[in-house]
Amino acid sequence: MATKKQTKKSAAPIDEKETFVSIQKNISDSDSISMEQKLHTLYQLQQTDTQIDRIHLLRGELPLEVQDLEDELEGLKTRIANLQGEIKDIEKDSAQKKIDIETSKTATAKYEDQRNNVKNNREYDSLSKEIEYQMLVVEHAEKIIKDNGIKIVDKTASLEEAKKDYEGRLIDLDNKKKELESIIEETSKEEEVLLQKSEELKATLEERMVIAYERVRDNARNKLAVVTVKRDACGGCFNKIPPQRQLDIALSKKIIVCEYCGRIIVSSEFENE
């Protein structure tokens, strides 16, 4: 006689985009942890994460300010290096032009001696043109040296200003880092304890529930995914909750999600924990 083969119900796959509404149908009724316990755990998780958020809020914009100052310093460092390189290139160009001037003057003197001993007009004109050319070379080189001198003055002034800005930003960065390190030192132990507690609470919940919780937190401006009833309204978006729905929330037998903001709403009695 053929026996009927029993089939084990497979768990529904986890959807990274899952919300509190969609996870209700995937939560096993036979789970050893009751829904009320899960709701209490979620509420405790929210309270713990809110405390962590407050610690981060205490640090304010300091981490971003430190990063901005570090980026600005890197930019100034690059600017200083570029200006120093440009000044060296200009000085090198001026030095070469001085060599060109001496070379042209030497050539001019040689051509003048040759012109004094020429035997015909053709040689005289040819040497005169060479002398004229060398004089133009000298004149052009002297103009470039003069222009380079002005450029060096301008770039040196820019370099000194960049160095001054760099030193000032370096002091600002040092002060900001000290301020941030002081706050982190004061709150690091508390944050470590809270982070550990947060992880322990998450470990007692189903993975899909934690994913949904974090999704709602990420999308909420105040980072609240689990809220209580406040004056007959949702504690997250403050929209009114119908009396029958408030009764379901008070029973804590199932997940009740705000139809306006998607947060889980739990009984105000949870606040007494």
70-78 contacts, C-beta under 8 A, 24 or more apart: 70/173, 72/169, 73/166, 73/169, 73/170, 73/173, 76/162, 76/165, 76/166, 76/169, 77/166
Predicted TM-score (pTM) of the model is 0.55
Fold of 62-186: Helix Hairpins (1.10.287)
| Overall average pLDDT of the 128-141 stretch | 94
The domain ranges of the chain are 20-33+204-272, 62-186
Give pLDDT tens digits for 78-88: 999 999 999 99
Confidence of residue 61 (pLDDT cuts 50, 70, 90): confident
Confidence of residue 160 (pLDDT cuts 50, 70, 90): very high
**Structure tokens that stand for 271 in this block:** 């606040």
